[in-house]
Amino acid sequence: MTSRGFVYKYDVSLPPAVLYDLVEAAQAKLGGLDVDVAGYGHVGDANLHLNICDVAGYREEVHALLEPWVYESVAGAGGSISAEHGVGQCKSEYLHLNKPAAAIDLMGLIKRTMDPNLILNPYKVLPASALGV
């Protein structure tokens, strides 16, 4: 929450030629709702911070319109669902949009080899399916 309400935050990367298109598409998609859509970032490394401020607070209706749409739009434009802040725990189930299954499986194998009890940074970066849980 902020003084403007709840903020849905996305940290993605997109090809520079279409960097701001996602902001405009989000504005169009959410046009009938009382939200403010803003985008800013680092053009040099194609990083976009897409923030949607909802003065009404968190609404499942808005969240459902945004996810998985944001991640699918980014992947469709040749971008990455994760930029400077990493995959974390919220994006792990969408990792398949940017990585082939073989790469995710290999990452899971490495994680299980190095951390067989899955106690280091649990539930982050990889989907549960890649860890066999």
* 111 compared with 3, residue with greater pLDDT: 111
Residue in 111, 76, 106 with CA at minimum distance from that of residue 94? 76
Q: What pLDDT, in 10s, does the model give residues 66-116?
A: 999 999 999 999 999 876 666 666 777 888 888 888 988 898 899 889 999
pLDDT at 8: 96
**Per-residue pLDDT at 1 exceeds 70:** no
**Per-residue pLDDT at 30 exceeds 80:** yes
For residue 14, CA distances in Å to 18, 40, 56, 80, 82 come to 7, 12, 29, 7, 10
pLDDT at 44: 81
Partners of 41 in the β-ladder: 48
Domain ranges of the chain: 6-76, 99-131
Partners of 13 in the β-ladder: 47, 80
Domain 6-76 has CATH 3.30.70.2740: yes
